[in-house]
Amino acid sequence: MRDHAQVAIIGSGVTGLSTAYSLVNKGLNDIVILEKGHLASGASTRNGGGVRAQFTTEENILLAKWSIQRFRQLGLELKVNFWFRQGGYLFVAESEQELVSLRNAAEFQRRFGLGTKVIDCDRVQEIVPCMDCSGIIGGSYRRGDGILFPFPLLIGYADFLRSHGTDIETHCEVKHIAQANGEFVLETSRGELRVEKLVNAGGGWSSGVGRMLGVNIPTRPVRHQIMAGEPLAPFLKPMVVTLRDGFYMSQGPRGELIGGINESGSRGSDPGKSSAAFCEQFSSRVVSLFPMLSSARMMRQWAGFYDMSPDANPVLDRMPGVEDAFVACGYSGHGFMISPAVGEFMSCLVTGKKPPFPTEPYRLSRFEEGNTKSESLVIG
């Protein structure tokens, strides 16, 4: 491993990779990415690949809308196919109250130019013909939302970065960070690295990285589980989400079903541990909503985590009190889908440019000031 670089990024998840990619595009390519596990081994390789702009806060809508435009180009730039498919996101309501909240959300989203439609049960049935809609009274639908396959995008970024001078050091844990002579001295499991600038893109571990710099980051990883079903002929166009229990399911590029549900009971804290209770809870919902899937098989099931922030909106900021250190975290389950915008945002902060987004709402200090508006569409 080299011993000096202009920028170190802690974390090789999609945030770190996307930030490095935007930095390289701005002409800065003396970068080392430090990763304690294998490439993107946290939430980035455990997520369901959903991409949506249907949110309830300006913070998420702006980043998501920008990112969806980028996802349409990114495959060509990186020369990879990550199977971005805009089949829409369909949120379904099973009570009048849920429908009201979807209607309010759609109205809010329209202020940002999103064409989210509130639809009745008949239209829901048209979009998803095989779903049992007897308990469904309506929903909201946005065609521009969709899904992607996370791995090829991650690998595409990594290949591009490695061929443009960025070193990605995997199995290289940062143990200690000191500051000396205007530089950061990172003590890692594979030697010492001195850098001018530092980006904390540690995902579920970002508050731990914050502590090494004496900065309190109030985000914490919360376990969520997910499953993949065996490949089936295409039958499901949009990502289907139920508000009642945070059930979601989409059909991926290989025909496999991908889905999760808001786990009832204890969530535990070990993102590596999955549970049979999840399989039962999720499957009960699958069978009631999609009776035809009763004999389809669950192939694989795993656990990951959302790095939850107190208001479920991201933190994108300079590290308060530490010059030339930056933090991007707290995506609360939406990190992959907003990653192109986050990378652009962070690369602007690092290079002293103005990001193409307001910076105020993403500040870390908002939690102390008590001035926050929470995202309510956190699913799964």
Only one of the segments 114-122, 129-137, 224-232, 367-375 lies at the binding site for another protein (rule: CB under 8 A); that segment is 224-232
CB of 39 to another protein, least distance (A): 5
| Residue from 6, 94, 298, 351 in contact with another protein (CB under 8 A) | 298
Identify which of residues 211 and 273 has a Cβ nearer to another protein in the complex: 273
The DSSP-derived string for 55-97 is: -SSHHHHHHHHHHHHHHHHHHHHHT-----B---EEEEESSHH
**Residue 180: both structure tokens together:** 């000396």
Closest CA to 242 of 269, 216, 222, 261: 261
CB of 258 to another protein, least distance (A): 12
Phi, psi of 75 (to 5 degrees): -60, -40
| Residue from 211, 300, 353, 358 in contact with another protein (CB under 8 A) | 300
Task: Name residue 224's beta-bridge partners.
Answer: 304
* Contact call for residue 351 and another protein (CB under 8 A): no
CB of 31 to another protein, least distance (A): 16
| Separation of alpha carbons 250 and 246, rounded Å | 13
* Contact call for residue 301 and another protein (CB under 8 A): yes
Identify which of residues 137 and 228 has a Cβ nearer to another protein in the complex: 228
CA dihedral for 271, 330, 145, 25, sign (positive or negative): negative
Task: Name residue 223's beta-bridge partners.
Answer: 305
Only one of the segments 33-41, 120-128, 182-190, 345-353 lies at the binding site for another protein (rule: CB under 8 A); that segment is 33-41
Only one of the segments 90-98, 262-270, 275-283, 321-329 lies at the binding site for another protein (rule: CB under 8 A); that segment is 275-283
CB of 94 to another protein, least distance (A): 18
* Contact call for residue 280 and another protein (CB under 8 A): yes
Site string for another protein, 166-195 (x = CB under 8 A): ----xx------------------------
Phi, psi of 187 (to 5 degrees): -95, 120
* Contact call for residue 79 and another protein (CB under 8 A): no
Cα-based angle 268, 274, 280 (whole degrees, multiple of 5) = 105
Q: Restricting to residues 124-153, name those near another protein by CB under 8 A.
A: 151
Packing angle between helix 339-350 and helix 14-25, nearest 10 degrees?
50
* Contact call for residue 296 and another protein (CB under 8 A): yes
**Residue 72: both structure tokens together:** 């349409």
Q: What SS3 class is residue 45?
A: helix
CB of 62 to another protein, least distance (A): 30
* Contact call for residue 207 and another protein (CB under 8 A): no
| Residue from 4, 38, 72, 211 in contact with another protein (CB under 8 A) | 38
* Contact call for residue 279 and another protein (CB under 8 A): yes
Q: Are 298 and 225 in contact (CB under 8 A)?
A: no
* Contact call for residue 302 and another protein (CB under 8 A): yes
CB of 136 to another protein, least distance (A): 19
| Residue from 107, 120, 159, 192 in contact with another protein (CB under 8 A) | 159
* Contact call for residue 244 and another protein (CB under 8 A): no
| Separation of alpha carbons 315 and 309, rounded Å | 8
Q: Are 106 and 117 in contact (CB under 8 A)?
A: yes
The DSSP-derived string for 126-137 is: HHSTTS--TT--
Q: How far is CA 9 from CA 108, 244, 264, 303, 318, in A?
A: 35, 38, 36, 25, 14
* Contact call for residue 39 and another protein (CB under 8 A): yes
Q: Restricting to residues 40-59, name those near another protein by CB under 8 A.
A: 41, 45
Give me the residues that bind another protein (CB under 8 A), please.
38-39, 41, 45, 151, 154-155, 159, 162, 170-171, 228-231, 272, 274, 276, 279-280, 282-284, 286-288, 293-302
